[in-house]
Amino acid sequence: MKIFSKIKLFMLIFFSLNISAYACDFIKVPMGTLISAIEDQYDDLPDTSSDEWGSETLKYNYDTSNFCDDELLKNSYMNIFVKEKKLIGIEIEGIDVDKNINQLLKFSEINFGLKDEQAKKENWVGVVDLSTGGKSILYGKVMGLDGIYESIEITTPAYGDFLIMGDVVEMNQ
Whether the per-residue pLDDT at 131 is higher than 80: the answer is: yes
Whether the per-residue pLDDT at 19 is higher than 80: the answer is: no
The more confident residue out of 47 and 172 is 47
Task: Supply the mean pLDDT for the chain.
Answer: 84
Question: pLDDT per residue over 51-94, tens digit each?
Answer: 777 788 999 999 999 999 999 999 999 999 999 999 999 999 99
Q: Which domain holds residue 56?
A: 25-171
C-beta separation of 159 from 83 below 8 A: yes
* 6 within domain boundaries: no
* 8 within domain boundaries: no
pTM for this predicted structure: 0.82
User: What average pLDDT score do residues 131-144 get?
Assistant: 92
- CA 56 vs. chain centroid, Å, equals 22
* 42 within domain boundaries: yes
* 162 within domain boundaries: yes
* 105 within domain boundaries: yes
Furthest C-alpha separation in the chain? 67
The more confident residue out of 153 and 97 is 153
Instruction: pLDDT band for 102, please (50, 70, 90 cuts).
Output: confident
How many domains in the chain? 1
| Kind plus residue range of the DSSP H or E element containing 105 | helix 103-112
Question: What's the confidence (pLDDT) of residue 48?
Answer: 79
Centre a 10 Å sphere on the Cβ of residue 152 and count the other Cβ atoms it contains.
Answer: 25
